[in-house]
Amino acid sequence: AIQMTQSPSSLSASVGDRVTITCRASQGIRNDLGWYQQNPGKAPKLLIYSASSLQSGVPSRFSGSGSGTDFTLTISSLQPEDFATYYCLQDYNYPLTFGQGTKVEIK
Amino acid sequence: EVQLVESGGGLVQPGGSLRLSCAASGFTFSSYAMSWVRQAPGEGLEWVSAISSSGGVTYYADSVKGRFTISRDNSKNTLYLQVNSLRAEDTAVYYCARERWLQSTPDYWGQGTLVTVSS
């Protein structure tokens, strides 16, 4: 199975900050990567698919980049509703595998 | 509006079984592959199983292979997960999710159903 290594596991940031989360795949996965946001007690929400495509309805402050093995999720200006946990997911092949998650907390 | 509603979770003893269901609406169910993803309390997300749009192809995580069976009834717009030989480590919220058209990225998710395995 492809291993997804996500970092950092947590970070503290302020409203308005630029935030970057990275994900590294154990082998090349083309651009078959998604990013999700999850709030406590809620289902995950798809933010980005195909590494850099913004899901409909998601604010443009979210962006994704990368291909092959290294990927990045960037929030350009952190808003109060963005404090949540973020996961990457490779959908290059089955079994699908998630990163361990990054909890974004208020500084 | 896409809606996915899971049901069938509950408290079960180790070694027991349950059948989880996911009722879909708001899209052409028979055209989309579907997945189950779970999340143990306080832990991250774990993909469990997927099924093709026709039901003819299925995939499983190694941790559940041989114990869980995914299926679907396209006439009823319903996805199922039969979970057998349950263990304490299967305790989790189980989400069903629709996979994006011609991709495997889950895009819409249900609210989840909690399975607790305990004596």
pLDDT digits (tens, 9 = 90+) for B1-39: 999 999 999 999 999 999 999 999 999 999 999 999 999
A96, A97, A100: best to mutate for the B interface, most B CBs within 10 A: A96
Arithmetic mean of pLDDT, B84-101: 97
| Mean pLDDT to the nearest integer, A59-76 | 98
Identify which of A18, A1, A4 has the alpha carbon closest to the alpha carbon of residue A104.
Answer: A18
Contact A89, A97 (CB under 8 A): yes
Q: Band the pLDDT of B102: cuts 50, 70, 90.
A: confident
B73, amino acid identity? D
Reported as a pLDDT band with limits 50, 70 and 90, residue B95 is: very high
Chain B residues within an 8 Å CB radius of A44: 37, 45, 95, 106, 109
Q: Using the beta-carbon criterion (under 8 Å), do A49 and B112 form an inter-chain contact?
A: no
Classify residue B57 by burial, with Cβ atoms within 10 Å: 0-12, 13-18, 19+. Answer: exposed
Measured between CA atoms, the residue of chain A closest to residue B47 is A96
For all residues of chain A together, what is the average pLDDT? 97
Q: What is the mean pLDDT of residues A60-77?
A: 98
Identity of the amino acid at B113: T
8 Å CB contact of B105 and A89 = yes
Neighbouring-strand partners of residue B10: B115
Query: Average pLDDT, stretch A43-47?
Result: 98
Q: Give the pLDDT of residue B92.
A: 98
The Cα–Cα gap between B20 and B117 comes to 14
What pLDDT shows up at residue B101? 83
B47 at A interface, C-beta within 8 A: yes
Of B47, B51, B78, which Cα lies nearest the Cα of B64? B47
For A61-89, give one letter per residue: b (16+ CB within 10 A) or e: ebbbebeeeebbbbbeebeeebebbbbbb
pLDDT higher than threshold 90 for residue B103? no
**Contact assignment for B45 to A87 by CB distance below 8 Å:** yes
